[in-house]
Amino acid sequence: MRVLIVGGGGREHALAWKIRQSPLVEVLFAAPGNPGIARDATCVQIGVDAQRDLVAFARRERVDLAVVGPEAPLVAGLADRLAEGGLTVFGPGARAAAIEGSKVFAKDLMRRHHIPTAQFSTFDDPDRARRYCRELGAPLVVKADGLAAGKGAIVCRTLGEAEAAIAECMERRGFGAAGARVVVEELMIGDEVSFFVLSNGHDAIALAAAQDHKTIFDGDRGPNTGGMGACSPVGVFDEPLEKRVMETIVRPTLAALASEGAPYRGVLYVGLMLTTGGPKVVEFNCRFGDPECQVLLTRAPGDLVPWLLAAAQGATWPPAISWPHNASVCVNLASGGYPGAYTIGLPIRGVDAAQARPGVRVFHSGTADREGRLVTAGGRVLGVTAVAETLEGAIAAAYAAVGDISFDGMHYRTDIGRRAAQPREGRGP
């Protein structure tokens, strides 16, 4: 097989690393890729938004399977354009990808089809949004409708913070056009879990769960980021709870999309809050999470490619393989100042030493090659990922590897996975 991965971040590096292991794959391309991906694939300098160029390249190179990593090109209809070009695509079309592309669409879909989520209302007028905030009462959450790189959900502990969030989204347009409409919803309390399933358009199969760490500082403090780290599995998300989520949330959601003319083919990220009233949807994403993809794929058993192909073709699933009883942790190393302004082009040291440690993989998120030297090129730079028999072992291995790496201003959280590793009473439903 000849496979093309679209994207150039840590998620796509993890996909390239896993797909490269498949005996089915003879040639692997990545567009645009990054220096880490270049070790596993041939990188071609085509941007994720260059739809015509991507289709032309895939047809010219006789690509058997295109795997679209990021959300923005999926929401913009890249999967549709590739399919129209006669290509097999892993990733939903634009109508189905709207489940991430528009928070309003997703919330209205859940309301119409009775899928459990937070109490909410949607607004395109800031004054009406403020009035609803006063009716709902704090704490609450204000969410930009469109894509905001994981930073568009603002937790507001007071009404004053809610006022500021609405002004940031709708009046100052801090998220651009994505904030023209907002969702205002109750703040749900419980354990937050990222659950991943594959869908072939008419059936779904569970992968595994992970736990993301969204805020920039330890102890879940500070502004949201694209994700500072993740761990898998999640102890509180056991097999009975997984079955409950599949029956009450996943299958009804996929059936709802199909009934409205948007069958879903690809991976569906189900962001859950495990409340005392049962699991409820925080958000849906139309792709693997980043950094959740890194911890999932370093744990995932067997060959991933037949599963991606079955989802893309709407075919029967391959025989299931049990997931191993191990654990994975990813610690993201970020540029100083992220998620605000930061400097790029800074030399990175120690990646090879970190990756030489047993069970460790270093996935590139925001790096570049400058005259043969690895330098920073983004807010989240590297995802140091370790697999071990236990979560505690994976945490220790990941942070030992983090100690090998340095660049000026390097910032990371020191508590990734630690909360999940500490059993607590009374968690979840």
**What pLDDT, in 10s, does the model give residues 381-405?**
999 999 999 999 999 999 999 999 9
Considering only CA atoms, which of 55, 1, 3, 49 is closest in space to residue 23?
Answer: 1
Instruction: Name residue, tokens 């330098």.
Output: 375
Q: What pLDDT is recorded for position 152?
A: 87
The tens digit of pLDDT for each residue in 188-218 reads 999 999 999 999 999 999 999 999 999 999 9
Q: What is the mean pLDDT of residues 238-258?
A: 97
* Residue 346 three-state SS: coil
pTM for the whole structure: 0.94
CA atoms of 87 and 70, how far apart (whole Å) = 18
Question: What value does the mean pLDDT take over residues 337-350?
Answer: 97
Specify the pLDDT at position 191.
93
- Residue 199's nearest CA partner among 290, 312, 114, 71 is 312
pLDDT band at 423 (very low <50, low <70, confident <90, very high): low
- Tokens coding 320: 């299931």
- Mention every residue, 6+ apart, whose C-beta is less than 8 A from residue 371: none
Sorted by where each starts, the structural domains of the chain and their CATH numbers stand as: 2-97 (3.40.50.20), 119-186 (3.30.1490.20), 191-313 (3.30.470.20), 327-402 (3.90.600.10)
Partnered with residue 7 across adjacent β-strands are 32
**Among candidate residues 228, 155, 285, 272, the one with its CA nearest the CA of residue 411:** 228
CA atoms of 370 and 346, how far apart (whole Å): 10
User: Cβ(104)–Cβ(180) under 8 Å?
Assistant: no
pLDDT tens-digit series, residues 135-184 = 999 999 999 999 987 778 999 999 999 999 999 999 999 999 999 999 99
Residue-wise pLDDT tens digits, 6-65: 999 999 999 999 999 999 999 999 999 999 999 999 999 999 999 999 999 999 999 999
Q: Which two tokens stand for residue 356?
A: 């030489």
- What's the mean pLDDT in 249-259? 97
Nearest to 61 by CA among 28, 38, 35, 90: 28
Cα gap 223→192, rounded to integer Å: 17
- Name the amino acid, one letter, at 309: L
Q: Does residue 420 register a pLDDT over 90?
A: no
